[in-house]
Structure 1
Amino acid sequence: MSQWMTLLQKEIVEMWRNFKWIWVPITFILIGVQQPITTYYMPQILDLAGGLPEGAVIKIPTPTAGEVLIQGLGQYTTLGVLIIVLSTMGILAAERKSGVAAMILVKPVSYRSFVTAKWAGGVLLVWFSFLIGYLATWYYTGILFEWIPVEDFFQSFFFYGLWLTVILTITMFFSASLLAPGIAGFSSLAVVIVVNLVSSTISNLLEWSPSQLTGYAGEILLGKGISDDTLPASIIAAGCIVILLALSVVIFKKKELAS
Protein backbone atom coordinates (compact mmCIF):
# COMPACT_ATOMS: atom_id res chain seq x y z
CA MET A 1 0.00 0.00 0.00
CA SER A 2 2.85 2.40 0.78
CA GLN A 3 4.25 1.75 -2.72
CA TRP A 4 0.87 2.47 -4.29
CA MET A 5 0.45 5.69 -2.29
CA THR A 6 3.91 6.82 -3.37
CA LEU A 7 2.99 6.24 -7.01
CA LEU A 8 -0.30 8.11 -6.52
CA GLN A 9 1.50 11.05 -4.94
CA LYS A 10 3.94 11.05 -7.86
CA GLU A 11 1.02 11.16 -10.30
CA ILE A 12 -0.64 14.04 -8.43
CA VAL A 13 2.61 16.02 -8.37
CA GLU A 14 3.16 15.32 -12.06
CA MET A 15 -0.28 16.70 -12.86
CA TRP A 16 0.60 19.83 -10.89
CA ARG A 17 3.74 20.24 -12.99
CA ASN A 18 1.67 19.84 -16.14
CA PHE A 19 -0.83 22.42 -14.79
CA LYS A 20 -3.68 19.92 -15.13
CA TRP A 21 -4.92 20.80 -11.64
CA ILE A 22 -5.32 24.35 -12.93
CA TRP A 23 -6.53 24.30 -16.53
CA VAL A 24 -8.86 21.30 -16.30
CA PRO A 25 -10.91 22.64 -13.33
CA ILE A 26 -10.96 26.15 -14.83
CA THR A 27 -12.23 24.75 -18.12
CA PHE A 28 -14.96 22.82 -16.32
CA ILE A 29 -15.99 25.97 -14.44
CA LEU A 30 -16.25 27.92 -17.71
CA ILE A 31 -18.32 25.12 -19.20
CA GLY A 32 -20.49 25.09 -16.07
CA VAL A 33 -21.36 28.80 -15.92
CA GLN A 34 -21.94 29.15 -19.65
CA GLN A 35 -25.35 27.47 -19.84
CA PRO A 36 -27.33 29.24 -17.07
CA ILE A 37 -25.94 32.67 -17.97
CA THR A 38 -26.54 32.22 -21.70
CA THR A 39 -30.06 30.88 -21.13
CA TYR A 40 -31.02 33.72 -18.78
CA TYR A 41 -29.72 36.51 -21.02
CA MET A 42 -30.72 34.93 -24.35
CA PRO A 43 -33.51 37.48 -25.11
CA GLN A 44 -31.07 40.36 -24.58
CA ILE A 45 -28.42 38.61 -26.67
CA LEU A 46 -30.86 38.13 -29.55
CA ASP A 47 -32.02 41.72 -29.24
CA LEU A 48 -28.44 43.05 -29.38
CA ALA A 49 -27.71 40.80 -32.35
CA GLY A 50 -30.31 42.72 -34.37
CA GLY A 51 -31.65 41.61 -37.70
CA LEU A 52 -35.26 41.37 -36.49
CA PRO A 53 -38.15 43.32 -38.04
CA GLU A 54 -39.08 46.55 -36.27
CA GLY A 55 -41.61 45.94 -33.53
CA ALA A 56 -40.87 42.21 -33.34
CA VAL A 57 -41.13 40.80 -29.83
CA ILE A 58 -38.94 37.95 -28.68
CA LYS A 59 -40.78 35.52 -26.42
CA ILE A 60 -38.74 32.60 -25.16
CA PRO A 61 -40.37 30.29 -22.59
CA THR A 62 -38.50 30.43 -19.30
CA PRO A 63 -36.99 26.99 -18.64
CA THR A 64 -37.14 25.39 -15.24
CA ALA A 65 -34.04 25.14 -13.08
CA GLY A 66 -33.90 21.42 -13.71
CA GLU A 67 -33.95 21.94 -17.48
CA VAL A 68 -31.13 24.47 -17.22
CA LEU A 69 -29.01 22.05 -15.20
CA ILE A 70 -29.72 19.28 -17.69
CA GLN A 71 -28.59 21.56 -20.51
CA GLY A 72 -25.47 22.28 -18.45
CA LEU A 73 -24.80 18.56 -18.10
CA GLY A 74 -25.16 18.33 -21.85
CA GLN A 75 -22.13 20.59 -22.15
CA TYR A 76 -20.12 18.13 -20.09
CA THR A 77 -21.31 15.34 -22.39
CA THR A 78 -19.60 17.08 -25.31
CA LEU A 79 -16.91 19.52 -24.23
CA GLY A 80 -16.32 17.84 -20.87
CA VAL A 81 -15.74 14.43 -22.45
CA LEU A 82 -13.32 15.99 -24.94
CA ILE A 83 -11.35 17.62 -22.11
CA ILE A 84 -11.18 14.33 -20.18
CA VAL A 85 -9.89 12.42 -23.20
CA LEU A 86 -7.35 15.10 -24.15
CA SER A 87 -6.00 15.36 -20.61
CA THR A 88 -5.66 11.60 -20.02
CA MET A 89 -5.00 10.02 -23.43
CA GLY A 90 -1.25 9.97 -22.75
CA ILE A 91 -1.55 8.73 -19.20
CA LEU A 92 0.21 5.45 -20.10
CA ALA A 93 1.08 5.77 -23.79
CA ALA A 94 3.20 8.90 -23.33
CA GLU A 95 5.19 7.46 -20.43
CA ARG A 96 5.83 4.20 -22.25
CA LYS A 97 6.88 6.09 -25.40
CA SER A 98 9.24 8.38 -23.45
CA GLY A 99 10.75 5.52 -21.49
CA VAL A 100 9.68 6.83 -18.08
CA ALA A 101 7.53 3.76 -17.42
CA ALA A 102 10.47 1.43 -18.12
CA MET A 103 12.66 3.38 -15.68
CA ILE A 104 10.07 3.12 -12.91
CA LEU A 105 9.19 -0.52 -13.53
CA VAL A 106 12.85 -1.53 -13.36
CA LYS A 107 12.49 -1.00 -9.64
CA PRO A 108 10.39 -3.43 -7.57
CA VAL A 109 7.16 -1.78 -8.70
CA SER A 110 4.24 -3.94 -9.76
CA TYR A 111 2.45 -3.22 -13.03
CA ARG A 112 -0.88 -3.28 -11.21
CA SER A 113 0.22 -0.62 -8.74
CA PHE A 114 1.65 1.54 -11.52
CA VAL A 115 -1.48 1.42 -13.69
CA THR A 116 -4.07 1.68 -10.91
CA ALA A 117 -2.24 4.60 -9.26
CA LYS A 118 -2.34 6.49 -12.55
CA TRP A 119 -6.03 5.65 -12.92
CA ALA A 120 -6.75 6.85 -9.38
CA GLY A 121 -4.94 10.13 -10.08
CA GLY A 122 -7.05 10.61 -13.20
CA VAL A 123 -10.24 9.87 -11.26
CA LEU A 124 -9.35 12.46 -8.63
CA LEU A 125 -8.72 15.05 -11.32
CA VAL A 126 -11.96 14.30 -13.19
CA TRP A 127 -14.21 14.17 -10.11
CA PHE A 128 -12.69 17.32 -8.59
CA SER A 129 -12.98 19.25 -11.85
CA PHE A 130 -16.52 18.04 -12.46
CA LEU A 131 -17.56 18.87 -8.89
CA ILE A 132 -16.48 22.49 -8.96
CA GLY A 133 -17.74 22.94 -12.53
CA TYR A 134 -21.13 21.43 -11.73
CA LEU A 135 -21.28 23.45 -8.51
CA ALA A 136 -20.82 26.58 -10.62
CA THR A 137 -23.71 25.47 -12.85
CA TRP A 138 -25.90 24.78 -9.82
CA TYR A 139 -25.00 28.09 -8.15
CA TYR A 140 -25.71 30.30 -11.16
CA THR A 141 -28.88 28.36 -11.90
CA GLY A 142 -30.04 29.05 -8.36
CA ILE A 143 -29.17 32.74 -8.59
CA LEU A 144 -30.77 33.32 -11.99
CA PHE A 145 -33.67 30.83 -11.86
CA GLU A 146 -34.40 28.79 -8.73
CA TRP A 147 -32.51 26.46 -6.45
CA ILE A 148 -32.36 22.73 -7.06
CA PRO A 149 -32.36 20.71 -3.81
CA VAL A 150 -28.85 19.80 -2.66
CA GLU A 151 -29.84 16.13 -2.44
CA ASP A 152 -30.90 16.07 -6.08
CA PHE A 153 -27.72 17.89 -7.05
CA PHE A 154 -25.41 15.35 -5.41
CA GLN A 155 -27.39 12.36 -6.65
CA SER A 156 -27.18 13.57 -10.23
CA PHE A 157 -23.53 14.46 -9.67
CA PHE A 158 -22.71 10.92 -8.53
CA PHE A 159 -24.42 9.09 -11.39
CA TYR A 160 -23.07 11.45 -14.02
CA GLY A 161 -19.60 11.26 -12.49
CA LEU A 162 -19.79 7.47 -12.71
CA TRP A 163 -20.29 7.74 -16.48
CA LEU A 164 -17.35 10.14 -16.74
CA THR A 165 -15.26 7.57 -14.86
CA VAL A 166 -16.21 4.97 -17.47
CA ILE A 167 -14.98 7.37 -20.17
CA LEU A 168 -11.73 7.92 -18.29
CA THR A 169 -11.21 4.15 -17.98
CA ILE A 170 -11.91 3.62 -21.68
CA THR A 171 -9.28 6.25 -22.46
CA MET A 172 -6.80 4.56 -20.13
CA PHE A 173 -7.47 1.19 -21.78
CA PHE A 174 -6.57 2.57 -25.20
CA SER A 175 -3.62 4.45 -23.72
CA ALA A 176 -2.31 1.10 -22.43
CA SER A 177 -3.01 -0.63 -25.74
CA LEU A 178 -1.58 1.96 -28.15
CA LEU A 179 1.77 3.70 -28.23
CA ALA A 180 0.61 7.02 -29.72
CA PRO A 181 -1.47 9.20 -27.34
CA GLY A 182 -3.28 10.84 -30.26
CA ILE A 183 -4.50 7.53 -31.63
CA ALA A 184 -5.52 6.46 -28.12
CA GLY A 185 -7.56 9.65 -27.73
CA PHE A 186 -9.21 9.30 -31.13
CA SER A 187 -10.11 5.65 -30.43
CA SER A 188 -11.59 6.58 -27.05
CA LEU A 189 -13.75 9.34 -28.53
CA ALA A 190 -14.91 7.01 -31.31
CA VAL A 191 -15.99 4.33 -28.81
CA VAL A 192 -17.80 6.84 -26.58
CA ILE A 193 -19.62 8.36 -29.57
CA VAL A 194 -20.69 4.93 -30.85
CA VAL A 195 -21.90 3.84 -27.40
CA ASN A 196 -23.91 7.06 -27.00
CA LEU A 197 -25.45 6.77 -30.46
CA VAL A 198 -26.39 3.11 -30.06
CA SER A 199 -27.77 3.64 -26.55
CA SER A 200 -29.87 6.63 -27.60
CA THR A 201 -31.13 4.95 -30.78
CA ILE A 202 -32.35 1.76 -29.09
CA SER A 203 -32.71 3.12 -25.57
CA ASN A 204 -35.69 0.85 -24.90
CA LEU A 205 -33.42 -2.18 -25.34
CA LEU A 206 -30.34 -0.75 -23.61
CA GLU A 207 -31.89 0.71 -20.47
CA TRP A 208 -28.99 -0.62 -18.41
CA SER A 209 -26.28 0.89 -20.60
CA PRO A 210 -23.81 3.00 -18.58
CA SER A 211 -24.33 5.89 -21.01
CA GLN A 212 -27.98 6.03 -19.91
CA LEU A 213 -26.78 7.35 -16.55
CA THR A 214 -26.72 10.82 -18.10
CA GLY A 215 -30.45 10.60 -18.76
CA TYR A 216 -31.19 9.17 -15.32
CA ALA A 217 -29.26 12.07 -13.75
CA GLY A 218 -31.51 14.43 -15.71
CA GLU A 219 -34.64 12.71 -14.42
CA ILE A 220 -33.47 13.35 -10.86
CA LEU A 221 -33.08 17.06 -11.63
CA LEU A 222 -36.62 17.16 -13.02
CA GLY A 223 -37.97 15.83 -9.73
CA LYS A 224 -38.78 12.34 -11.04
CA GLY A 225 -36.53 10.63 -8.50
CA ILE A 226 -34.11 7.78 -9.12
CA SER A 227 -35.26 5.50 -11.95
CA ASP A 228 -35.51 1.75 -11.38
CA ASP A 229 -32.93 1.23 -14.13
CA THR A 230 -30.38 3.51 -12.50
CA LEU A 231 -28.99 0.90 -10.09
CA PRO A 232 -28.49 -1.84 -12.76
CA ALA A 233 -26.87 0.74 -15.07
CA SER A 234 -24.58 1.84 -12.21
CA ILE A 235 -23.59 -1.75 -11.44
CA ILE A 236 -22.80 -2.43 -15.10
CA ALA A 237 -20.81 0.82 -15.26
CA ALA A 238 -18.79 -0.27 -12.21
CA GLY A 239 -18.27 -3.68 -13.80
CA CYS A 240 -17.03 -2.08 -17.02
CA ILE A 241 -14.59 0.05 -15.02
CA VAL A 242 -13.16 -2.98 -13.20
CA ILE A 243 -12.88 -5.08 -16.38
CA LEU A 244 -11.30 -2.32 -18.46
CA LEU A 245 -8.87 -1.47 -15.65
CA ALA A 246 -7.84 -5.13 -15.29
CA LEU A 247 -7.37 -5.43 -19.06
CA SER A 248 -5.28 -2.25 -19.02
CA VAL A 249 -2.92 -3.80 -16.48
CA VAL A 250 -2.60 -7.04 -18.48
CA ILE A 251 -2.08 -5.33 -21.84
CA PHE A 252 0.34 -2.75 -20.46
CA LYS A 253 2.42 -5.49 -18.81
CA LYS A 254 2.49 -7.58 -21.99
CA LYS A 255 3.60 -4.64 -24.12
CA GLU A 256 6.24 -3.55 -21.63
CA LEU A 257 7.72 -7.06 -21.38
CA ALA A 258 7.62 -7.41 -25.16
CA SER A 259 9.58 -4.21 -25.58
Structure 2
Amino acid sequence: MSQWITLLNKELLEMWRNFKWIWVPITFILLGVQKPLSSYYLPQILDSIGNLPEGAKIEIPKPSAQEVFVSGLSEYSSLGVLIIVLTTMALIAGERKSGVAAMILVKPVSYRSFVTAKWVGALLLMWVSFFIGSAATWYYTGILFDWVAAGEAFQAFFLYGLWFTVILTIALFFSAAHLVPGVAGFVSLLVVIILSLVSSSLSDWLEWSPAMLTKYANDLVLIGKLADYTLPACLLSIASILILLALSIFIFRKKELAS
Protein backbone atom coordinates (compact mmCIF):
# COMPACT_ATOMS: atom_id res chain seq x y z
CA MET A 1 0.00 0.00 0.00
CA SER A 2 2.85 2.40 0.81
CA GLN A 3 4.25 1.80 -2.68
CA TRP A 4 0.89 2.66 -4.23
CA ILE A 5 0.56 5.83 -2.15
CA THR A 6 4.05 6.88 -3.24
CA LEU A 7 3.05 6.43 -6.89
CA LEU A 8 -0.17 8.39 -6.31
CA ASN A 9 1.72 11.22 -4.64
CA LYS A 10 4.07 11.27 -7.63
CA GLU A 11 1.09 11.67 -9.98
CA LEU A 12 -0.48 14.44 -7.91
CA LEU A 13 2.85 16.28 -7.65
CA GLU A 14 3.44 15.96 -11.38
CA MET A 15 -0.03 17.36 -12.09
CA TRP A 16 0.80 20.30 -9.85
CA ARG A 17 4.10 20.91 -11.63
CA ASN A 18 2.26 20.81 -14.96
CA PHE A 19 -0.26 23.33 -13.56
CA LYS A 20 -3.15 20.90 -14.16
CA TRP A 21 -4.43 21.63 -10.64
CA ILE A 22 -4.72 25.27 -11.73
CA TRP A 23 -5.88 25.41 -15.33
CA VAL A 24 -8.28 22.45 -15.30
CA PRO A 25 -10.42 23.74 -12.37
CA ILE A 26 -10.32 27.28 -13.80
CA THR A 27 -11.47 25.98 -17.19
CA PHE A 28 -14.30 24.03 -15.58
CA ILE A 29 -15.37 27.13 -13.64
CA LEU A 30 -15.44 29.20 -16.83
CA LEU A 31 -17.52 26.51 -18.53
CA GLY A 32 -19.84 26.40 -15.52
CA VAL A 33 -20.60 30.13 -15.29
CA GLN A 34 -20.85 30.72 -19.03
CA LYS A 35 -24.47 29.64 -19.48
CA PRO A 36 -26.02 31.38 -16.42
CA LEU A 37 -24.27 34.65 -17.27
CA SER A 38 -25.06 34.54 -21.00
CA SER A 39 -28.70 33.61 -20.34
CA TYR A 40 -29.15 36.43 -17.84
CA TYR A 41 -27.47 39.13 -19.90
CA LEU A 42 -28.72 37.99 -23.33
CA PRO A 43 -31.32 40.80 -23.67
CA GLN A 44 -28.66 43.43 -22.90
CA ILE A 45 -26.25 41.79 -25.34
CA LEU A 46 -28.83 41.83 -28.14
CA ASP A 47 -29.78 45.40 -27.30
CA SER A 48 -26.15 46.54 -27.44
CA ILE A 49 -25.67 44.99 -30.87
CA GLY A 50 -28.26 47.37 -32.30
CA ASN A 51 -29.03 47.51 -36.04
CA LEU A 52 -32.74 47.02 -35.31
CA PRO A 53 -35.54 49.05 -36.94
CA GLU A 54 -36.77 51.99 -34.87
CA GLY A 55 -39.34 50.88 -32.37
CA ALA A 56 -38.46 47.22 -32.77
CA LYS A 57 -38.27 45.27 -29.53
CA ILE A 58 -37.08 41.74 -28.92
CA GLU A 59 -38.78 39.94 -26.08
CA ILE A 60 -37.02 36.78 -24.91
CA PRO A 61 -38.87 34.61 -22.41
CA LYS A 62 -36.91 34.21 -19.21
CA PRO A 63 -35.72 30.60 -18.81
CA SER A 64 -36.35 28.73 -15.59
CA ALA A 65 -33.55 28.11 -13.14
CA GLN A 66 -33.74 24.38 -13.91
CA GLU A 67 -33.30 25.02 -17.64
CA VAL A 68 -30.32 27.29 -17.04
CA PHE A 69 -28.69 24.79 -14.68
CA VAL A 70 -29.17 21.92 -17.14
CA SER A 71 -27.75 24.05 -19.97
CA GLY A 72 -24.75 24.83 -17.80
CA LEU A 73 -24.10 21.16 -17.06
CA SER A 74 -24.50 20.32 -20.74
CA GLU A 75 -21.48 22.51 -21.53
CA TYR A 76 -19.32 19.85 -19.90
CA SER A 77 -20.56 17.21 -22.34
CA SER A 78 -18.56 18.84 -25.14
CA LEU A 79 -15.56 20.89 -24.04
CA GLY A 80 -15.44 19.15 -20.66
CA VAL A 81 -15.12 15.76 -22.32
CA LEU A 82 -12.33 17.09 -24.54
CA ILE A 83 -10.43 18.37 -21.49
CA ILE A 84 -10.81 15.02 -19.72
CA VAL A 85 -9.42 13.15 -22.71
CA LEU A 86 -6.56 15.62 -23.23
CA THR A 87 -5.47 15.34 -19.60
CA THR A 88 -5.66 11.53 -19.63
CA MET A 89 -4.42 10.39 -23.04
CA ALA A 90 -0.72 10.76 -22.17
CA LEU A 91 -0.85 9.28 -18.67
CA ILE A 92 0.60 5.94 -19.75
CA ALA A 93 1.42 6.42 -23.43
CA GLY A 94 3.49 9.53 -22.70
CA GLU A 95 5.58 7.84 -20.01
CA ARG A 96 6.09 4.75 -22.15
CA LYS A 97 7.25 6.88 -25.04
CA SER A 98 9.64 8.92 -22.87
CA GLY A 99 10.99 5.84 -21.11
CA VAL A 100 9.86 6.95 -17.65
CA ALA A 101 7.56 3.92 -17.32
CA ALA A 102 10.44 1.51 -17.98
CA MET A 103 12.59 3.26 -15.37
CA ILE A 104 9.86 2.95 -12.73
CA LEU A 105 8.97 -0.64 -13.56
CA VAL A 106 12.62 -1.73 -13.28
CA LYS A 107 12.07 -1.33 -9.54
CA PRO A 108 9.76 -3.76 -7.69
CA VAL A 109 6.64 -1.86 -8.79
CA SER A 110 3.59 -3.83 -9.88
CA TYR A 111 1.80 -2.98 -13.11
CA ARG A 112 -1.48 -2.80 -11.22
CA SER A 113 -0.12 -0.20 -8.80
CA PHE A 114 1.38 1.81 -11.66
CA VAL A 115 -1.88 1.96 -13.66
CA THR A 116 -4.33 2.37 -10.78
CA ALA A 117 -2.28 5.18 -9.20
CA LYS A 118 -2.45 7.11 -12.47
CA TRP A 119 -6.17 6.39 -12.77
CA VAL A 120 -6.93 7.59 -9.24
CA GLY A 121 -4.81 10.71 -9.68
CA ALA A 122 -6.63 11.64 -12.90
CA LEU A 123 -9.93 10.79 -11.24
CA LEU A 124 -9.26 13.15 -8.33
CA LEU A 125 -8.38 15.96 -10.72
CA MET A 126 -11.52 15.40 -12.76
CA TRP A 127 -13.95 15.06 -9.83
CA VAL A 128 -12.55 18.06 -7.94
CA SER A 129 -12.56 20.25 -11.05
CA PHE A 130 -16.06 19.18 -12.06
CA PHE A 131 -17.38 19.68 -8.52
CA ILE A 132 -16.00 23.23 -8.42
CA GLY A 133 -17.36 23.97 -11.90
CA SER A 134 -20.83 22.53 -11.26
CA ALA A 135 -20.97 24.33 -7.89
CA ALA A 136 -20.24 27.57 -9.75
CA THR A 137 -23.06 26.76 -12.19
CA TRP A 138 -25.46 26.10 -9.31
CA TYR A 139 -24.41 29.25 -7.42
CA TYR A 140 -24.68 31.66 -10.35
CA THR A 141 -27.98 30.10 -11.42
CA GLY A 142 -29.33 30.70 -7.93
CA ILE A 143 -28.02 34.28 -7.74
CA LEU A 144 -29.24 35.32 -11.20
CA PHE A 145 -32.41 33.23 -11.53
CA ASP A 146 -33.57 30.98 -8.73
CA TRP A 147 -32.15 28.21 -6.60
CA VAL A 148 -32.22 24.65 -7.86
CA ALA A 149 -32.82 22.09 -5.11
CA ALA A 150 -29.42 21.13 -3.71
CA GLY A 151 -30.33 17.43 -3.57
CA GLU A 152 -31.30 17.29 -7.24
CA ALA A 153 -28.22 19.31 -8.22
CA PHE A 154 -25.93 16.93 -6.34
CA GLN A 155 -27.56 13.84 -7.89
CA ALA A 156 -27.17 15.38 -11.34
CA PHE A 157 -23.53 16.13 -10.53
CA PHE A 158 -22.98 12.50 -9.52
CA LEU A 159 -24.59 11.10 -12.71
CA TYR A 160 -22.53 13.40 -14.91
CA GLY A 161 -19.41 12.54 -12.92
CA LEU A 162 -20.02 8.81 -13.32
CA TRP A 163 -20.27 9.20 -17.11
CA PHE A 164 -17.10 11.31 -17.11
CA THR A 165 -15.38 8.56 -15.11
CA VAL A 166 -16.29 6.11 -17.88
CA ILE A 167 -14.79 8.50 -20.44
CA LEU A 168 -11.63 8.95 -18.38
CA THR A 169 -11.21 5.18 -18.07
CA ILE A 170 -11.71 4.76 -21.81
CA ALA A 171 -8.94 7.29 -22.41
CA LEU A 172 -6.71 5.49 -19.91
CA PHE A 173 -7.37 2.17 -21.66
CA PHE A 174 -6.30 3.49 -25.06
CA SER A 175 -3.35 5.26 -23.46
CA ALA A 176 -2.20 1.85 -22.22
CA ALA A 177 -2.82 0.29 -25.63
CA HIS A 178 -0.95 2.86 -27.78
CA LEU A 179 2.53 4.35 -27.68
CA VAL A 180 1.42 7.68 -29.16
CA PRO A 181 -0.71 9.92 -26.87
CA GLY A 182 -2.35 11.66 -29.84
CA VAL A 183 -3.61 8.36 -31.23
CA ALA A 184 -4.95 7.37 -27.83
CA GLY A 185 -6.78 10.68 -27.50
CA PHE A 186 -8.25 10.56 -31.00
CA VAL A 187 -9.51 6.99 -30.65
CA SER A 188 -10.95 7.76 -27.20
CA LEU A 189 -12.90 10.74 -28.50
CA LEU A 190 -14.11 8.71 -31.47
CA VAL A 191 -15.38 5.92 -29.22
CA VAL A 192 -17.13 8.39 -26.89
CA ILE A 193 -18.78 10.22 -29.81
CA ILE A 194 -19.99 6.98 -31.40
CA LEU A 195 -21.29 5.68 -28.08
CA SER A 196 -23.13 8.95 -27.41
CA LEU A 197 -24.64 9.16 -30.90
CA VAL A 198 -25.76 5.53 -30.93
CA SER A 199 -27.23 5.78 -27.44
CA SER A 200 -29.17 8.96 -28.24
CA SER A 201 -30.38 7.62 -31.60
CA LEU A 202 -31.47 4.27 -30.16
CA SER A 203 -32.51 5.55 -26.74
CA ASP A 204 -35.58 3.30 -26.64
CA TRP A 205 -33.36 0.20 -26.89
CA LEU A 206 -30.26 1.47 -25.09
CA GLU A 207 -31.84 3.01 -22.01
CA TRP A 208 -29.21 1.24 -19.86
CA SER A 209 -26.27 2.79 -21.74
CA PRO A 210 -23.78 4.80 -19.64
CA ALA A 211 -24.06 7.58 -22.22
CA MET A 212 -27.69 8.07 -21.15
CA LEU A 213 -26.65 9.19 -17.66
CA THR A 214 -26.42 12.85 -18.69
CA LYS A 215 -29.98 12.72 -20.06
CA TYR A 216 -31.22 11.14 -16.85
CA ALA A 217 -29.44 13.86 -14.86
CA ASN A 218 -31.08 16.58 -16.95
CA ASP A 219 -34.52 14.95 -16.62
CA LEU A 220 -34.05 14.75 -12.85
CA VAL A 221 -33.47 18.50 -12.61
CA LEU A 222 -36.22 19.44 -15.09
CA ILE A 223 -38.88 16.96 -14.00
CA GLY A 224 -37.80 16.19 -10.46
CA LYS A 225 -37.83 12.43 -10.96
CA LEU A 226 -35.21 9.81 -11.76
CA ALA A 227 -35.77 7.69 -14.86
CA ASP A 228 -36.47 3.99 -14.35
CA TYR A 229 -33.23 2.94 -16.07
CA THR A 230 -30.96 5.22 -14.05
CA LEU A 231 -29.82 2.46 -11.67
CA PRO A 232 -29.09 -0.11 -14.46
CA ALA A 233 -27.13 2.58 -16.34
CA CYS A 234 -25.14 3.36 -13.18
CA LEU A 235 -24.40 -0.31 -12.52
CA LEU A 236 -23.32 -0.88 -16.12
CA SER A 237 -21.11 2.20 -15.91
CA ILE A 238 -19.38 0.88 -12.80
CA ALA A 239 -18.95 -2.55 -14.41
CA SER A 240 -17.52 -0.93 -17.56
CA ILE A 241 -15.06 1.10 -15.49
CA LEU A 242 -13.80 -1.97 -13.64
CA ILE A 243 -13.50 -4.04 -16.84
CA LEU A 244 -11.68 -1.28 -18.73
CA LEU A 245 -9.34 -0.74 -15.79
CA ALA A 246 -8.53 -4.46 -15.61
CA LEU A 247 -7.95 -4.56 -19.38
CA SER A 248 -5.69 -1.50 -19.13
CA ILE A 249 -3.49 -3.29 -16.61
CA PHE A 250 -3.44 -6.50 -18.68
CA ILE A 251 -2.58 -4.77 -21.98
CA PHE A 252 0.02 -2.52 -20.36
CA ARG A 253 1.74 -5.52 -18.74
CA LYS A 254 1.66 -7.48 -22.00
CA LYS A 255 3.13 -4.62 -24.06
CA GLU A 256 5.84 -3.84 -21.51
CA LEU A 257 6.92 -7.49 -21.23
CA ALA A 258 6.92 -7.80 -25.03
CA SER A 259 9.18 -4.77 -25.38
Aligned to 2:196: 196
After TM superposition, which residue ranges in structure 1, 4 or more long, deviate above 3 angstroms?
none
Aligned to 2:258: 258
Could you tell me which amino acid in structure 2 is paired with residue 188 of structure 1?
Answer: S
Aligned to 1:38: 38
Aligned to 2:247: 247
Helix, strand or coil: the match of 2:78?
Answer: helix
Aligned residues between the structures: 259
Could you tell me which amino acid in structure 2 is paired with residue 215 of structure 1?
Answer: K
Matched, 1:214 2:193: no
Helix, strand or coil: the match of 1:222?
Answer: helix
Aligned to 1:3: 3
Q: Distance in 2 between matches of 1:176 and 1:231?
A: 30
Aligned to 1:29: 29
Instruction: Give per-residue Cα distances to partners, 1:37-63, cap 9 Å, x unaligned.
Output: 000111111111123222111111111
Deviation at 1:224, TM superposition (A): 2.4
Say which is worse superposed, 92-101 or 42-51, in terms of deviation: 42-51
Aligned to 1:89: 89
Matched, 1:133 2:133: yes
Matched, 1:163 2:163: yes
Could you tell me which amino acid in structure 2 is paired with residue 35 of structure 1?
Answer: K
Q: Distance in 2 between matches of 1:52 and 1:252?
A: 61
What root-mean-square deviation, in Å, do the aligned CA atoms of Structure 1 and Structure 2 show?
0.8
Could you tell me which amino acid in structure 2 is paired with residue 213 of structure 1?
Answer: L
Percent identity over paired residues = 66
Helix, strand or coil: the match of 1:61?
Answer: coil
Deviation at 1:189, TM superposition (A): 0.6
Instruction: Give per-residue Cα distances to partners, 1:26-46, cap 9 Å, x unaligned.
Output: 000000000000001111111
What residue ranges of structure 1 are gaps of 5+ in the alignment?
none
Could you tell me which amino acid in structure 2 is paired with residue 156 of structure 1?
Answer: A
Could you tell me which amino acid in structure 2 is paired with residue 197 of structure 1?
Answer: L
Q: Distance in 2 between matches of 1:120 and 1:184?
A: 19
Matched, 1:112 2:112: yes
Could you tell me which amino acid in structure 2 is paired with residue 103 of structure 1?
Answer: M
Helix, strand or coil: the match of 2:203?
Answer: coil
Deviation at 1:223, TM superposition (A): 3.7
Aligned to 1:56: 56
Deviation at 1:3, TM superposition (A): 1.2
Helix, strand or coil: the match of 1:60?
Answer: coil
Deviation at 1:226, TM superposition (A): 1.6
Aligned to 2:19: 19
What residue ranges of structure 2 are gaps of 5+ in the alignment?
none
Could you tell me which amino acid in structure 1 is paired with residue 179 of structure 2?
Answer: L
Q: Is the 8 A contact 2:84 2:168 kept in 1?
A: yes
Aligned to 1:123: 123
Aligned to 2:174: 174
Q: Distance in 1 between matches of 2:51 and 2:198?
A: 40
Deviation at 1:106, TM superposition (A): 0.6
Could you tell me which amino acid in structure 1 is paired with residue 79 of structure 2?
Answer: L
TM-score by length of 1: 0.98
